[in-house]
Structure 1
Amino acid sequence: MFWGMLILLYLPNGEWGISGGFFIMSYLVNAFFMVMKKLRESIWEMHMLQNIAGFFAFIICMIVARSDDFQYFSNWLFALLLIIWLVLLCLFTFGAVDKNPGMLYWLFTETAENRKVQVVRYKRIIKRFFNIFLSLFLLMFWIFIENTLEFYYTNRKTLEFNLSDFWGSMIVQSFFLSVIISVLVSLLKTNVTKIISCCLWGLAVASYIQVMIFDRDLGITDAYAIKWSDYSGKMIMTGIVWGICIVVPVILFAKFKNKFFSILKYVAVCLLCIQISATIYLVIKSGGYRNTSEAEITNYYVSGKNEYTVSEEKNIFVFVLDTYSNDFIDEMTEQYPDALEPLHDFTYYDNYDSKYDGTALAMNYLLTGQEFDNTIPCREYSKEAFHSEKAVEFYNTLKEQQYSCNIYTDKATVSFLNAKNLYEYYDNVQENADGEILVDYHAVRKNIIKGAMYKVLPLALKRFSLVVTSDFDGAVSSSGGGEDSPDLDDDFYLKLQTQGLEYNSSSGTFTIYHFSGMHDYGDGKGKNLPEAAYDNLNDVYVFLDELKNMGVYDNSTIIITADHGKIMTVDGIQPIFFIKEPYKKNDRLAVCSSPVSAEEFMPTIMKLITGESKDKTIYDYEADENRSRSVYIRQYKENISDLLKNDSANYACLYKYTYQGDKDELRKYAGAKPKQKIPLIDFWY
């Protein structure tokens, strides 16, 4: 009751129901164990177990929680108290608790007067402590120290925080958690602690095997939903491996006793030394503990300025719905035959090619028209692309035609494009000269742990620890500016419905809305693919209705496309592309199968605003034209030579596939090696 009332004082709003549930569970546990003769005859010992559980739950939560975010752990404290108490009750009932004079349980429960006259068995207690500590710290080190560091190093080019913002606390917390849990387990008898140690050692080995062997061909969690059913066979296989790793050490201990356990402890020490060496190497490669993030927040940011405004005279609106493959349209219309009816004034180019997979490459190309240059660092390519003759001419023409330019996208995409590059062309990109960098340590630590857990968990449990790029949005911010960040995705459409649009003072607007699109499908929101595809278009339809209400729908150019389709495959890489020209009226959606690509995106807009373009547009290709197009697919590092040859984080190269025809022709290359392999010297992530 004391612990329950204490926790209620710290509960965040809206979580009273959870605590009520814990209260009920605690009393049910009480009632269950009170029928057992052993505890019924010793209510005092039962209460002592409650006190021990409360003490250790409180200490563990104090170690895990920083002083400024203890509120997040109020319910965790209650839950942990209940779990520890339940485990201790079970172990006590089955005689696993060591109540001998001089041992830890005796020290916790005996009176001060009796403790004075008894000899405490320090050597035996310390030996029992290390029996559990070595295996536990091996597991803790592998998950919370090495794998959080490895997750950070792999993604260091997109994460805006530094190693020191989370890793020091991870080391301290892992060590002291191992210490306090080892002390708690030392309450038990020697053989029980050794069995638990064998299980923990097996978990550490199993998680190591999981990372090094079984995680190599998993899909990317923030691109589109992983089809877990495709991995059912491997789930069973990995489950068996995990079971073997845990059970075999216990069996060997039961057969060989202390001889095997001595070997196990020496192996644990050796594995710890290996992990420490690998960790030191990773720290050095990351730039040291006091490193500076490669995606360090800059003095420029994308604001929400003019996000809900339109021009009375002329408008170009481009909706870029991330990861929206044109394959999804086919699946959507099977379930929702009338889903495209609101687009009756549009033309659907169902053979449109994005050229590149992944937002970093595709968005840089879409906004500059410059081919990727693999001979220079990626950020240098982006800078040169935005300062290229083609990009400068395009944006200068927009300005000459009196268009204001605005782009609304997420922080990850801004890091790929570089806000400073955008600042020169887009009016809503602002300079923040004197902002103080603020780090949300709770969000950083929570998501970095999720990323580490995703790696080490068995395949069947990974879906419960998904982490995506957008989880880190807002983890780092600037106090001196950037508060007026744009509304994206659901926030944009909800606000649009409540406040609508308004006119701005410009004679023309060129606006790009880059939203998560089918990333929502991959973020595990419970929708199937056709539903997610349909909902994305329905959201855009809200915008179209507002344009009609404002009376500017007819004079507007509207493009609904995607930066790319599915990633890391030619099977479904083609994105959607719908376009409505000014004053275009159709009875129904027109479909064109011309072999066009993102290469024609900027020339087509030039043609629409000036009446001419020196480069080919989407209107310059016939449906049956025999055109060769190429797509570039990122490929992971495949072997040790890839790891040694370059430092491009996740990716070693691009595979170039050249094809003629439509997406079905391109699909034939799925799984095939390309004729051209383009090495990468680095990458954004």
Structure 2
Amino acid sequence: AYKIVLYCYFTGTVACYIQGNYMVKNLPPLDGTDVNWSLYQSQFVKSTIVWVIIAIVCLILFIVLKYDRIKKAVSYISVFLLDAVDEECFWQVWQEHPEYEDAMNDFTFYNNAMSGYAYTEHSLPLILSGEWFENKEPFIDYRNRIFKSSPFFNYLREQGYTLSNYDDEYKFEKGVMDGAFNNITYTKSSLWDRSLFNTRIIKMVGMKYAPYVLKPYCWFNVSMLKNQEMSSKDEELFSWRNDDFYKDVQEDDITYVDGKRFKLIHLMGAHVPFYFDKDVNVIDDADYYTSIESSMTVTMAYLNKLREAGVYDNSVIIILSDHGYNIEGEAVKVAQKNENETGRQHPILFVKGLNESHDLQVSGAPISYEDLVEAYYKLMDGAASDDCFAYKEGDQRERRYLLYKYLGEDHMVEYVQTGYAGDESTLVPTGRVFDAK
């Protein structure tokens, strides 16, 4: 019986190591999106074949090698394991809602903007700094440097701005971002249900190391782990959900204060999973387009609050998405991982300068998100929204885009957009790649 257990343990150890380190390129997301497991049938087959082959090889080793050697090998391997809102879609919604145009008066809408990356994690630091991440250093070092001391943030501090960052995309450890933003409060968390927490952690391990036949039983929404952070807090934690922010906007007044303020407010927008209708109600049949509508409802409510508080006119306001979204088939209802990801390079971008008053303007200027920081400086100096970028409508340029697959950011491929931002036929690879060391 002991030999059988040892064989199963040895086989499982080797198979889990191979599954969790060499067969992780096509894992489904853990962001709450319902997974269509039928799209992963090839992975089921590959995983099953690999586990069967490993079981056979290990059985042969048990037969050929002496028992003492097997016990020694198992002990070594056991220690080793311990280390172990798209513009085109937005415009379709826009055309069905004439009230949006009136709400966005005073803004210039740049409908030919290019994001730098396909996902938020890398897009946000580029938006705030203009500095590209090319896998030359650990991403967390790059990210912390941008949020702590980017030239733009340092300039704001020198000019007497108070900085606030409303975002739950990034979590900063105590001592890393102290003093950088006036609204960040560090709290000590406690686990209110240890057995539930441990179960969820084991499921996360299973999503990586278990064979594909067991992964459907390991899947869960990772955001549920946030519910484990239950402790008394002096401050209310910011939530990026559209409905939470919308409720706050409706119930709370915006207070006018002296001094200059910079606020970055990062909302869920039309991100998966899809929850909301146009009135920001949680519904069962929400999709990408109703989520866009909810985003506009929240945006209009916030702008109205700024007007009521008397701070709208003397504020520079920029409304943008960090990247676009690739609509393919059922992705309107349930997002599925797309191995291409070249359909996510076309975000929305609205800009309003100080004391602007005019009908909505639309510009087809070829904007890249690496241009944004220079535009911020110009807008704060009084430039109009249609004059804050160096490029104008009709200009020709090549715009950079670093593409990587979901959970594959250690391998980035460089593309350039030679034409319109949303045109995938003019988005061409340069041949350069940036791999993590």
Quickly name the TM-score band, shorter chain normalised: 0.7 to 0.9
Work out whether residues 601 and 617 of structure 1, in 8 Å CA contact, stay in contact via their aligned partners in 2: no
What is the percent sequence identity of the aligned residues?
19
Structure 1 CA distance for aligned equivalents of residues 27 and 116 of structure 2: 24
Map of 2:269 onto structure 1: 517
Matched, 1:413 2:170: yes
Aligned positions of 1:496-645 closer than 5 A: 496-497=249-250, 499-521=251-273, 527-566=286-325, 569-587=341-359, 589-611=360-382, 618-635=388-405
Q: Deviations over 1:650-682 (max 9, x none)?
A: 54322111222222444554xx7641111223x
Pick closer, same or farther for the CA change 1:572–1:282 going to 2, 3 Å: same
Structure 2 CA distance for aligned equivalents of residues 522 and 652 of structure 1: 28
What amino acid does structure 1 have at the position aligned with 2:264? Answer: I
Aligned positions of 1:283-294 closer than 5 A: 283=82, 285=83
- Classify the secondary structure of the residue corresponding to 1:406: strand
Among 178, 182, 197, the alignment partner of 1:427 is: 182
Work out whether residues 256 and 311 of structure 2, in 8 Å CA contact, stay in contact via their aligned partners in 1: no
Pick closer, same or farther for the CA change 1:611–1:540 going to 2, 3 Å: closer
Work out whether residues 256 and 310 of structure 2, in 8 Å CA contact, stay in contact via their aligned partners in 1: no
Matched, 1:655 2:413: yes
Structure 2 CA distance for aligned equivalents of residues 505 and 420 of structure 1: 28
Map of 2:435 onto structure 1: 679
Pairwise CA distance, 1:626:
0.8
Among 351, 356, 364, the alignment partner of 2:112 is: 351
Matched, 1:216 2:25: yes
Aligned positions of 1:89-100 closer than 5 A: none
Matched, 1:380 2:136: no
Unaligned stretches of 5+ residues in structure 2: 277-283, 326-337
Greater helix proportion: 1
Structure 1 CA distance for aligned equivalents of residues 275 and 214 of structure 2: 17
Among 80, 104, 107, the alignment partner of 1:281 is: 80
Map of 1:366 onto structure 2: 127
Work out whether residues 353 and 597 of structure 1, in 8 Å CA contact, stay in contact via their aligned partners in 2: yes
Matched, 1:396 2:150: no
Pairwise CA distance, 1:354:
2.2
Structure 1 CA distance for aligned equivalents of residues 48 and 9 of structure 2: 19
Q: Deviations over 1:64-98 (max 9, x none)?
A: xxxxxxxxxxxxxxxxxxxxxxxxxxxxxxxxxxx
Work out whether residues 654 and 677 of structure 1, in 8 Å CA contact, stay in contact via their aligned partners in 2: yes
What amino acid does structure 1 have at the position aligned with 2:378? Answer: K
- Classify the secondary structure of the residue corresponding to 2:346: coil
- Classify the secondary structure of the residue corresponding to 2:371: helix
Pairwise CA distance, 1:518:
3.1
Pairwise CA distance, 1:465:
1.9
Unaligned stretches of 5+ residues in structure 1: 1-126, 151-207, 250-259, 287-323, 637-648
Structure whose alpha-carbon radius of gyration is higher: 1
Structure 2 CA distance for aligned equivalents of residues 356 and 271 of structure 1: 48
Pairwise CA distance, 1:576:
1.6
Structure 2 CA distance for aligned equivalents of residues 350 and 612 of structure 1: 20
Structure 2 CA distance for aligned equivalents of residues 389 and 212 of structure 1: 38
What amino acid does structure 2 have at the position aligned with 1:511? Answer: K
What amino acid does structure 1 have at the position aligned with 2:25? Answer: R
Structure 2 CA distance for aligned equivalents of residues 660 and 345 of structure 1: 30
Work out whether residues 235 and 459 of structure 1, in 8 Å CA contact, stay in contact via their aligned partners in 2: no
Structure 2 CA distance for aligned equivalents of residues 331 and 226 of structure 1: 25
Map of 2:86 onto structure 1: 325
Pick closer, same or farther for the CA change 1:447–1:326 going to 2, 3 Å: farther
Root mean square deviation, CA, Å: 4.6
- Classify the secondary structure of the residue corresponding to 1:605: helix
Work out whether residues 48 and 213 of structure 2, in 8 Å CA contact, stay in contact via their aligned partners in 1: no
- Classify the secondary structure of the residue corresponding to 2:347: coil
Work out whether residues 345 and 422 of structure 2, in 8 Å CA contact, stay in contact via their aligned partners in 1: no
Pairwise CA distance, 1:564:
2.5
Map of 2:197 onto structure 1: 444
Pairwise CA distance, 1:500:
2.3
Work out whether residues 357 and 573 of structure 1, in 8 Å CA contact, stay in contact via their aligned partners in 2: yes
Map of 2:330 onto structure 1: none
Work out whether residues 409 and 486 of structure 1, in 8 Å CA contact, stay in contact via their aligned partners in 2: yes
Structure 2 CA distance for aligned equivalents of residues 612 and 538 of structure 1: 28
Pick closer, same or farther for the CA change 1:446–1:579 going to 2, 3 Å: farther
Q: Report 1 or 2 for greater relative contact order, CA contacts < 8 Å, sequence distance ≥ 6.
A: 2
Structure 1 CA distance for aligned equivalents of residues 74 and 418 of structure 2: 50
What amino acid does structure 2 have at the position aligned with 1:409? Answer: D
Aligned positions of 1:200-211 closer than 5 A: none
Structure 1 CA distance for aligned equivalents of residues 235 and 411 of structure 2: 38
Structure 2 CA distance for aligned equivalents of residues 667 and 282 of structure 1: 45
Matched, 1:235 2:5: no
Structure 2 CA distance for aligned equivalents of residues 340 and 462 of structure 1: 42
What amino acid does structure 1 have at the position aligned with 2:317? Answer: I
Map of 1:70 onto structure 2: none
Pick closer, same or farther for the CA change 1:608–1:388 going to 2, 3 Å: closer
Structure 2 CA distance for aligned equivalents of residues 494 and 436 of structure 1: 27
Structure 2 CA distance for aligned equivalents of residues 658 and 571 of structure 1: 13
Work out whether residues 112 and 346 of structure 2, in 8 Å CA contact, stay in contact via their aligned partners in 1: yes
Work out whether residues 405 and 427 of structure 1, in 8 Å CA contact, stay in contact via their aligned partners in 2: yes
Matched, 1:340 2:100: yes
Structure 2 CA distance for aligned equivalents of residues 519 and 343 of structure 1: 22
Structure 1 CA distance for aligned equivalents of residues 248 and 174 of structure 2: 25
Pick closer, same or farther for the CA change 1:447–1:271 going to 2, 3 Å: farther
Pairwise CA distance, 1:221:
4.0
Structure 2 CA distance for aligned equivalents of residues 357 and 233 of structure 1: 22
Work out whether residues 109 and 362 of structure 2, in 8 Å CA contact, stay in contact via their aligned partners in 1: yes
Matched, 1:485 2:246: no
Aligned positions of 1:10-409 closer than 5 A: 216-218=25-27, 220-222=29-31, 228=36, 232=38, 234-235=40-41, 238=44, 278-283=77-82, 285=83, 324-330=85-91, 332-333=93-94, 336-338=96-98, 340-341=100-101, 342-372=103-133, 374-385=135-146, 386-397=148-159, 399=160, 403-409=161-167
Work out whether residues 354 and 564 of structure 1, in 8 Å CA contact, stay in contact via their aligned partners in 2: yes
Q: Deviations over 1:194-243 (max 9, x none)?
A: xxxxxxxxxxxxxx87x688763345443x95783xx7465388479869
Pairwise CA distance, 1:620:
2.7
Work out whether residues 411 and 434 of structure 2, in 8 Å CA contact, stay in contact via their aligned partners in 1: yes
What amino acid does structure 2 have at the position aligned with 1:467? Answer: N
Pick closer, same or farther for the CA change 1:352–1:277 going to 2, 3 Å: farther
What amino acid does structure 2 have at the position aligned with 1:352? Answer: A
Work out whether residues 221 and 522 of structure 1, in 8 Å CA contact, stay in contact via their aligned partners in 2: no
- Classify the secondary structure of the residue corresponding to 1:663: coil
